[in-house]
Amino acid sequence: MGVILYDIPRPDFKRDQRTCVGPARYVRSQHRSPKEGGFVPMGYAVKKAYWRLSKRPRCEYLGRKRLPLPPGPPGHWLFGNAPPPPYAYQYYADLTEKYGPVVSLRYGKRIICIVGRYQAATDILIKHSGETMDRPRLIAAFEILSGGLRVVLTPAGDRIKRALHAFLAKDVAENYKPMQTRNAMTYVWDCFTRPEEHMDHSKRYAASIVISLTYGKTTPTSYSDSEVQNINRVARHFGAALRPGAHFVDTYPFLKCIPGYLKHLYRYHEEELVFFHEMIAGVKAKLSRGEASEAFVAYLLKEQQNLRVSDNELAYLAGAMFAAGSDTTASALSVVTMAAALHPEAQARVQAQLDKVAGRDRAPTFEDEDMLPEVTAFFMETARWRPQFASGFAHRATKDIIWVSSEAQTSTKDYVIPAGAEVIGAHWAIARDPDVYPDPERFDPQRWLDEDGQLRKDMRYFRFGFGRRVCVGEHLADNSVFINTALMLWAFNITEDPARPIDPDALTDEANVFPQPYAANFTPRVDRLEELLRRDDE
């Protein structure tokens, strides 16, 4: 009987000779009699076949030209590289410093390409956005926790994304500004009355926006409300499951078949699905009474047949997407407060412009935005300095991508990112690209402004993702962070508590990075703060 040998990954003795893994091939020994010398012992067959495979180019591109993977650390010949350690975003940044703008890793059969520099991200994830808009298979976060329903992880071209674009487009997001302003004023007042809970207040604000837009709830909320607690719990579970290297099942899918494996993720899925359906039930009851609703869920229910989505898909489309948006906004607001406390000189520049434009007799509004570039520069720098999705979201290459590395001004080298490889735009590493952001560890909002003090048109940062997978809620999120930054720095001098110094490097190890809990002082710089907030809220 012939022996069938499956393709075996090459050793990593010399990383610069590693090439991409092509499709699995079969090697069959001929069925010959012992007299013909055809009896091949199993061990010899394996050894010979492995030797032949290791000597053969395993990625052929542009005819028979052999191109290597981008450089990266050596790994085990069979298992590849070790899983990323805690705080993977810092690990990716260290790899970028050592190996270059694009780094390749191998976990079992998975090829991971880490993109850690701005120009490389443009060349690969922007110029090849059509070939990198897909998502890889994520068993823990997508198939188990999300039941295959979370839109942010769905494969490219999914029909239900049209609904999100229709509801979160830039012109539509203008309609949400009054509601965002009201909730931002509540956030300011909460920080004044209970400053020790300021991080909870940011989560309350973000969850309130989500609940209002998604489910039409207009009554005030508090951090202790069950809806706020549940939305934050959903976001926390998702962030933990999505953390790089969190679950071996993404590398070794057979683990999914083990009874009881990751049972907590199955339980979380059932819990969040029940919660999403409970939230939708309230909107259905309102519509059944003939009451009008502009909530996102009301739109989905009316268009459910046209969108061709099931009840569970509809529940996840509404709940999971906006839960993720709530988490990122809350994180962004906590970073703004931390940056203000640690950098009083940058805070003072923003406050000087706020005093010039709005004065201290009224609160700043969205109508002042064009006259407040210092506010925008401040929150854009916070997003670069401590990015929310520090490790980045994984894309999947649907075709071979040739990347030309300019290792020096006089030489280039071609590498291949093979079809099926995972491509991660590592936000933390990109945000520390010294060619784009000089002295990247320094918090400097002025890098976003030109000589005239206006926002630079040539400066940008991929804080909402890349190519065709950019977060559809970017306009809503930017509006939230702008109005909260303006109001908080107008209302307070935010300072560090001398008794409890802030560690800016103390961050959570999740997909969406938060500062670890920290203390800050909020000293009013505006007389009659409550009166002004109430007046401008009317």
Q: Is residue 100 in a domain?
A: no
Q: Higher pLDDT residue, 10 or 288?
A: 288
Q: What is the pLDDT of residue 411?
A: 57
Is there a single domain that holds both residue 62 and residue 170? no
Q: Is residue 323 in a domain?
A: yes
What phi-psi label fits residue 528: left (phi over 0), alpha (psi between -120 and 50 degrees) or beta? left
Span 457-484, average pLDDT: 89
Is there a single domain that holds both residue 49 and residue 175? no
What CATH number has the domain bearing residue 433?
Answer: 1.10.630.10
Q: What is the pLDDT of residue 500?
A: 95
Model confidence pLDDT, tens digit, residues 119-174? 999 999 999 999 999 999 999 999 999 999 888 887 755 566 677 777 888 898 99
Q: Is residue 106 in a domain?
A: no
Q: What is the pLDDT of residue 290?
A: 84
Is there a single domain that holds both residue 306 and residue 222? yes
Annotated binding site: 471
d(CA 399, CA 418): 7
Please answer whether residues 333 and 500 qualify as being in contact, where contact means their C-beta atoms are separated by less than 8 angstroms: no
Instruction: Check the CA dihedral 517-518-519-522 and report its sign.
Output: negative
Q: What is the pLDDT of residue 532?
A: 79
Span 77-81, average pLDDT: 92
d(CA 423, CA 126): 12
Question: Picking from 50-54, 117-121, 130-134, 388-392, which range would have the lowest pLDDT averaged per residue?
Answer: 50-54
Q: How confident is the model at residue 471 (pLDDT cuts 50, 70, 90)?
A: confident
Span 291-304, average pLDDT: 86
Classify residue 504 as exposed, middle or buried by CB count within 10 Å of its CB (0-12, 13-18, 19+): middle
Please answer whether residues 368 and 487 qualify as being in contact, where contact means their C-beta atoms are separated by less than 8 angstroms: no
Is there a single domain that holds both residue 161 and residue 41? no
d(CA 57, CA 77): 16
Is there a single domain that holds both residue 51 and residue 152? no
Q: Higher pLDDT residue, 159 or 502?
A: 502
Last residue of a domain, one of 68, 91, 123: 68
Is there a single domain that holds both residue 180 and residue 318? yes
Is there a single domain that holds both residue 54 and residue 159? no
pLDDT at 347 over 50: yes
Please answer whether residues 33 and 66 qualify as being in contact, where contact means their C-beta atoms are separated by less than 8 angstroms: no
Span 84-93, average pLDDT: 95
Question: Picking from 403-412, 461-470, 494-503, 509-518, which range would have the lowest pLDDT averaged per residue?
Answer: 403-412
Q: Is residue 119 in a domain?
A: no
Q: Is residue 90 in a domain?
A: no
Q: What are phi and psi of 335, to 5 degrees?
A: -70, -40
Percent of the chain with pLDDT over 70: 85
Is there a single domain that holds both residue 498 and residue 365? yes
pLDDT at 4 over 70: no
Q: How confident is the model at residue 5 (pLDDT cuts 50, 70, 90)?
A: very low
In total, how many domains does the chain have? 2
Last residue of a domain, one of 18, 40, 68: 68
Last residue of a domain, one of 24, 45, 68: 68
Name the residue range of residue 28's domain: 1-68
Q: How confident is the model at residue 480 (pLDDT cuts 50, 70, 90)?
A: very high
d(CA 325, CA 24): 40
Q: Is residue 125 in a domain?
A: no
Q: What is the pLDDT of residue 86?
A: 93
Q: How confident is the model at residue 304 (pLDDT cuts 50, 70, 90)?
A: confident
Q: Which of 366, 340, 361, 342 is nearest to 351 (CA)?
A: 340
Q: How confident is the model at residue 538 (pLDDT cuts 50, 70, 90)?
A: low
Q: What is the pLDDT of residue 110?
A: 94
Q: How confident is the model at residue 537 (pLDDT cuts 50, 70, 90)?
A: low
pLDDT at 467 over 80: yes
Q: What is the pLDDT of residue 17?
A: 36
**End-to-end C-alpha distance for the chain, whole angstroms:** 85
Q: What is the pLDDT of residue 184?
A: 95
Q: Higher pLDDT residue, 22 or 247?
A: 247
Q: What is the pLDDT of residue 25?
A: 33
Q: What is the pLDDT of residue 160?
A: 65
Q: How confident is the model at residue 536 (pLDDT cuts 50, 70, 90)?
A: low
Q: Is residue 196 in a domain?
A: yes
Q: What is the pLDDT of residue 323?
A: 77
Q: How confident is the model at residue 16 (pLDDT cuts 50, 70, 90)?
A: very low
Is there a single domain that holds both residue 359 and residue 457? yes
Is there a single domain that holds both residue 428 and residue 513? yes
Is there a single domain that holds both residue 43 and residue 144? no
Highest-scoring range by mean pLDDT, 58-67, 351-360, 451-460: 351-360
Per-chain mean pLDDT for the chain: 85
Q: Is residue 338 in a domain?
A: yes
Q: How confident is the model at residue 47 (pLDDT cuts 50, 70, 90)?
A: very low
Classify residue 125 as exposed, middle or buried by CB count within 10 Å of its CB (0-12, 13-18, 19+): buried
User: Are β-strands 4-6 and 422-425 bridged in parallel, bridged antiparallel, or unpaired?
Assistant: unpaired
Model confidence pLDDT, tens digit, residues 170-215? 898 999 999 999 999 999 999 999 999 999 999 999 999 989 999 9
Annotated binding site for heme: 471
- Sequence-distant (6+) residues with CB within 8 A of 157 are none
Please answer whether residues 124 and 401 qualify as being in contact, where contact means their C-beta atoms are separated by less than 8 angstroms: yes
